[in-house]
Amino acid sequence: MAPPNPTGFDMKEFVRASTSTQWRSKDPWKRNEAWRSTGPFTRWNRFKGAFPGFGIAVGAFAVYLVAEQVFFKDEHHGDGHGKDHH
């Protein structure tokens, strides 16, 4: 058996206290760490900030696809590739 710690610190008592549900409910740092999951730091806001401009890019691409279908129709579609094609 190991001799007692001269400082009075008991590691077994520390582990027992730190893993108890009573300690977790009275965690003094809980309030100080609450900012990590609120406001601009929520999971959704961090995800949203990871792709800046993605929404605008999707909208612009959709407008391009619609414009291409409406205005740039291929007039030769269905004619086949005959001798006069090129």
Is position 31 within any domain? yes
Q: What is the tens place of the pLDDT at every residue in 39-67?
A: 888 888 888 888 889 989 999 999 999 99
Count Cβ atoms within 10 A of the Cβ of residue 80 and give its class: 0-12 exposed, 13-18 middle, 19 or more buried.
Answer: exposed
Is position 81 within any domain? no
Is position 61 within any domain? no
Indicate the number of domains in the chain: 1
The answer, as to whether pTM is greater than 0.75, is no
Q: How many residues does the chain have?
A: 86
Is position 43 within any domain? yes
* pLDDT of amino acid 82: 61
Is position 12 within any domain? no
Q: Write out the residue range of the structural domain in which residue 38 sits.
A: 24-50
Is position 67 within any domain? no
